[in-house]
Amino acid sequence: MHTSPAPASPATPAGRIADREVTPADAALLTDAALLDEWVELSRQIAALEARRAEILHERMERLAAASPGAAVGGGSVSFRSMVSEFAAAGHVPPATMEGEFGAAWSLVERYPAVLASLRRGTISRRHADTIVAAGTVIPFDDDRRRDEYTRRALPFAESETVARTRAHTRSLVASLVPATVTERHRRARDDRGVQVLPLDDGMAELRAVLPEILARAIHDRLTGIARHVAAVHRTAGSGHEDAASLPTAAGARGLDHIRADVLADLLLTAAPASVDRTALDAITATVQVTLAASTLAGEDDRPAEHDGHGPLDPAVARLLAGGATTWTRLFLDPAGQVVQTDGYSPTASMRRHLRARDRHCRFPGCRVPARRCDIDHNHDHARGGPTRIGNLSLFCRRHHTLKHPDLDDGDRWSVEQLSGGRLRWRSPLGRTYEDTPPPRVMFG
């Protein structure tokens, strides 16, 4: 049972902070910090236990292989099915899921010992480990050299980033190491595209579309843009209406997800199909940010491009999108793949281009709101003398931008300092610091 630590008594040595009496506010801060530390420590212990779970499944497979040579490879034998079924029954897990657990555990222990060691130390979570292993399946089974290089570059990133950022990073890493394999897989996967209707309860259904990711993201972005416009129009209409509730779509009646769904239905049921005289790629009016090498754009090679913040992109698709681009931003990278300069002569426009290229998404640790939906922030507040220069500017989504607003109470307000190389050091209300590093372009460094 968890019990919160009691505030220290002012009459004891523990009841003093920096040679002064502990105030109620101090005691509350200490309790909050202790709860955070306990949560972090429990997360570390859970990760270590997950590592042990993987080792147990691997050891059981090794015992099966020793007793029945070949049985643990492929999973077609009765002995293997029996083993999986027993673990599934004991853990109340579907047999198919349990079989996947055995396969993941074997790959983690046999192919990624450094990742397993990090999991055991609690420096990454089980989801981080699964993400690294899953992305690495593209690397040929017998290519230990590239697998080791992949692990060496993926693991330090995962140890300091979220699972979502790690997923995008590992996908790009694999594409830089085995570009031909990734490009071919993307082209084969397009044959799986399709649309299904899955009935739900209460007169609802799920419309499921399997599309190339670049199209799916563009569709979602366009729906979001239209939905925000619709919401803004209805807010304006409702603000001057005596009975706003009488409006069919009055402000507050529909959330952004609801409006997106309604817009999707309207567009699909009333618009002419683009594929009659042009491709869906030609019809994109949403915003997607794509990076590709000049040699790939010229058709001299087939290196994968990158859909910024999401991972590799088929170079043929990237070239088609580039053909319809109305603006270009040329990037200059250092050997580590970090953006060091963009072209452009107008100071304001050039700085904006540089920030979008460098940051790619909100720079609060773990946040992935894309750059186009972010505010440009003066890390050292402009109102307090902060200069308008790249070394004092970064992109934050509105949610995280407001966390450092000067009007907030000190118990809620965050602060941020920009270090060399565009690194940001955030300081929380508890006084803890968290760093965020600009994401490298590993495919082009």
Number of H helices, E strands in the chain: 14, 14
pLDDT at residue 413 tops 50 = yes
Mean pLDDT of all residues in 403-411: 87
Total-model pTM = 0.68
Mean pLDDT of all residues in 61-67: 88
Mean pLDDT of all residues in 232-246: 56
**How many other C-beta atoms are found inside a 10 Å radius of the C-beta of residue 141?**
8
pLDDT at residue 49 tops 90 = yes
**pLDDT band, residue 100 (cuts 50/70/90):** very high
pLDDT for res 102 = 94
pLDDT at residue 116 tops 90 = yes
**pLDDT band, residue 34 (cuts 50/70/90):** very high
pLDDT for res 108 = 96
The residue count of the chain comes to 445
CB 390 within 8 A of CB 396: no
The DSSP secondary-structure symbol of 279 reads -
Q: How far apart are CA 414 and CA 400, in angstroms?
A: 9
pLDDT for res 118 = 97
For 352-384, write each residue's pLDDT tens digit: 888 888 898 999 998 888 888 899 898 888 777
Could you give the C-alpha distances from 353 to 289, 330, 331, 442, in angstroms and in order?
12, 9, 10, 20
| E-assigned strand segments in 249-323 | 290-291, 305-307, 311-313
pLDDT at residue 347 tops 80 = no
Higher pLDDT pick, 360 / 318: 360
Q: How far apart are CA 325 and CA 285, in angstroms?
A: 11
- The helix/strand/coil state of 128 is helix
Higher pLDDT pick, 51 / 407: 51
Q: Which tokens sit at 303?
A: 């290196």
pLDDT at residue 250 tops 50 = no
CB 414 within 8 A of CB 424: no
Most confident segment among 197-201, 309-313, 434-438: 434-438
Find the radius of gyration of the CA atoms of the chain. 26
Mean pLDDT of all residues in 4-29: 61
pLDDT for res 183 = 66
The vertex-249 CA angle with 245 and 255, nearest 5°, equals 105
pLDDT for res 261 = 85
Most confident segment among 246-250, 254-258, 309-313, 344-348: 254-258
Whether the CA torsion 356, 359, 361, 364 is positive or negative: it is negative
Per the prediction, the chain carries an average pLDDT of: 79
Where do the domains of the chain lie?
27-177, 181-192+208-323, 339-436
For 135-155, write each residue's pLDDT tens digit: 999 898 889 999 999 999 999
Q: Which tokens sit at 392?
A: 């004092």
The vertex-419 CA angle with 413 and 421, nearest 5°, equals 135
Q: How far apart are CA 262 and CA 194, in angstroms?
A: 21
**What secondary structure does DSSP assign to 144-156, as a single string?**
HHHHHHHHHHHHH
User: Whose structure tokens read 């972090």?
Assistant: 40
